[in-house]
């Protein structure tokens, strides 16, 4: 059984929290401003859990015995926590509240939680900042620092607290006594940047670097650290923009798989990184192939090539080092069997010394 801490995107009910809950994890949700979204996901997860217990288990054992939890049972949502990550005290207070909430259990669900520990931390909160860094003013600098606080410093703070908690508690995803897994949500901007997203890209690049560094440091304690680096995924924040077909059409030619991502794509990749116990220090790009492609104009499909006709002169007259164009291709052509010659002849030919 896992417990995860994540924030959420309430545009779809099939988000990270629901995917983990469906996989049997008990979850705690973080929010900053969208309390309604957090509460609606909280309600949905627990509705599914109760429906499962009603359908599969007997009503008397559904809430009274820890042994009633089966491996296929969905998880519950234990609670929601609010914190503004711009303030480090708020981050610490949130973590303390989560650990306290886990150890206390939730009224009515108390007996269903034999393990009062955090197994998984998903650092998903982040702000997408667009800034012209060349603007030499205090506001730009303040926005840069705010981006770093939310996207980098808060995740680092949470990772340090989670590591301390995970290594000190039994079980978990790694070897040894303690263990757990941390997954950071970075971005394709962690490795490439675009105009006016410099501060966002810097925060994500640093988070990727922390992912690798802490994966190494925490490995002896059985605490794994991974990251997902998504490409373009429409969410509530960008829903109005991507409802415009022209905007979608502008993006899709640059994505080899020909479509934008979904929150389900992200959720499933996050679950993979949490459950594969040999994955640590992995930054998993998830972008439909966008980053595999160089930033070049889209090329038209070439015509099917016509085979080069065999050279008219005898092969022994081809100068060493290639023909007029001096290319490797010329030499290759000279090795092509002429019509009627057998493959054996070509393979065993010894060029004349002249
Ligand atoms: N969507 C994409 O295309 C895409 C691509 C690559 C990476 N990502 C990453 O995915 C993550 C989620 O982003 P999203 O696209 O889903 O955008 P989003 O819906 O705007 O999510 C941003 C999340 O961060 C939280 N947040 C914002 N400011 C905060 C603060 N001061 N303190 C604490 N939490 C704060 C928000 O919580 P509240 O809503 O409760 O305020 C919200 O849940 C981010 O880390 C983003 O960088 C997104």
Q: Do 95 and 214 share a domain, yes or no?
A: yes
Best residue among 125, 143, 157 to mutate for probing ligand 1, ranked by most atoms within 8 Å of CB: 125
Q: Determine whether the shortest distance from the Cβ of 7 to ligand 1 is under 6 A.
A: yes
SS3 130: coil
Q: What percent of the chain has pLDDT over 70?
A: 74
Q: Do 82 and 225 share a domain, yes or no?
A: yes
Q: Do 83 and 208 share a domain, yes or no?
A: yes
Q: Do 29 and 136 share a domain, yes or no?
A: yes
Domain boundary among 270, 292, 314: 292
| Chain-centre distance for alpha carbon 56 | 33
* Tokens, residue 213: 């560094």
Number of domains in the chain: 2
- Predicted TM-score (pTM) of this structure: 0.83
| Residue 188 CA, closest ligand 1 atom number | 6
Domain boundary among 240, 271, 292: 292
Domain boundary among 249, 264, 292: 292
Q: Do 58 and 160 share a domain, yes or no?
A: yes
Q: Do 71 and 185 share a domain, yes or no?
A: yes
What is the per-residue pLDDT across 33-57, written as a single tens digit (0 to 9) for each?
Answer: 999 999 999 999 999 999 998 888 6
CA 253, CA 275: separation in Å to the nearest integer? 33
Closest C-alpha to ligand 1, atom 25: 125
Phi, psi (5° rounding) for residue 150? -80, -45
CA 320, CA 337: separation in Å to the nearest integer? 18
Query: Which residues are catalytically annotated?
Result: 200
| Residue 125 CA, closest ligand 1 atom number | 24
What is the per-residue pLDDT across 195-230, written as a single tens digit (0 to 9) for each?
Answer: 999 999 999 999 999 999 999 999 999 999 999 999
Q: Is residue 192 part of a domain?
A: yes
Please check the confidence at residue 176 and state whether its pLDDT lies above 50: no
Q: Do 198 and 285 share a domain, yes or no?
A: yes
Note down the domain range covering 337.
305-354
Task: Taking residues 249-264, report their average pLDDT.
Answer: 95
Please check the confidence at residue 330 and state whether its pLDDT lies above 80: no
Q: Do 211 and 310 share a domain, yes or no?
A: no
What is the per-residue pLDDT across 107-124, written as a single tens digit (0 to 9) for each?
Answer: 545 445 556 789 999 999
Q: Is residue 297 part of a domain?
A: no
Q: Do 264 and 311 share a domain, yes or no?
A: no
Q: Do 140 and 216 share a domain, yes or no?
A: yes
What's the pLDDT at 315? 54
CATH number for the domain spanning 154: value is 3.40.50.720
Q: Determine whether the shortest distance from the Cβ of 207 to ligand 1 is under 6 A.
A: no
Closest C-alpha to ligand 1, atom 1: 233
* Tokens, residue 229: 């680096």
Range from 64-73, 165-174, 318-327 that averages highest in pLDDT: 165-174
Q: Is residue 299 part of a domain?
A: no
Pick the closest to residue 32 from 56, 8, 2, 61 (CA basis).
8
Q: Determine whether the shortest distance from the Cβ of 16 to ligand 1 is under 6 A.
A: no
Q: Do 323 and 181 share a domain, yes or no?
A: no
- Give distance in angstroms: CA of 192 to centre of ligand 1: 19
């Amino acid at each position: 059984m896992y417990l995860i801490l994540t924030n959420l995107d309430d545009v779809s009910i099939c988000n990270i929290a629901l995917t983990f809950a469906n996989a049997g994890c008990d979850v705690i949700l973080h929010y900053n401003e969208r309390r309604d979204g957090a509460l609606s996901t909280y309600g949905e997860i627990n509705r599914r859990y109760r429906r499962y217990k009603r359908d599969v288990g007997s009503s008397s054992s559904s809430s009274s015995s820890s042994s009633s939890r089966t491996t296929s049972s969905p998880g519950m949502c234990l609670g929601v926590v609010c914190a503004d990550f711009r303030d480090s005290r708020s981050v610490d207070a949130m973590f303390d509240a989560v650990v306290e909430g886990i150890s206390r259990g939730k009224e009515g669900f108390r007996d269903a939680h034999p393990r009062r520990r955090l197994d998984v931390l998903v650092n998903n909160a982040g702000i997408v900042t667009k800034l012209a860094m060349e603007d030499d003013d205090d506001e730009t600098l303040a926005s840069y620092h705010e981006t770093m606080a939310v996207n980098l410093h808060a995740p680092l703070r949470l990772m340090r607290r989670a590591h301390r908690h995970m290594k000190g508690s039994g079980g978990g995803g790694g070897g040894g006594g303690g263990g757990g897994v941390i997954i950071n949500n970075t971005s394709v901007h962690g490795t490439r940047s675009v105009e006016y997203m410099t501060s966002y890209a810097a925060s994500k690049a640093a988070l990727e670097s922390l992912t690798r560094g802490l994966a190494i440091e925490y490995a002896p304690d059985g605490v794994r650290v991974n990251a997902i680096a998504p490409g373009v995924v429409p969410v509530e924040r960008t829903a109005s923009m991507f409802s415009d077909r022209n905007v979608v059409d502008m993006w899709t030619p640059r994505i080899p798989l020909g479509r934008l991502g979904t929150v389900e794509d992200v959720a499933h990749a996050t679950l993979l990184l949490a459950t594969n116990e040999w994955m640590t220090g992995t930054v998993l790009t998830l972008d439909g192939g966008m980053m595999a492609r160089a930033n070049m104009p889209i090329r038209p499909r070439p015509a099917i090539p016509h085979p080069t006709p065999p050279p008219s002169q005898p092969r022994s007259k081809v100068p060493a080092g290639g023909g007029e164009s001096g290319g490797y291709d010329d030499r290759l052509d000279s090795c092509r069997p002429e019509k009627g010659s057998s493959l054996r002849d070509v393979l065993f030919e010894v060029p004349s010394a002249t």
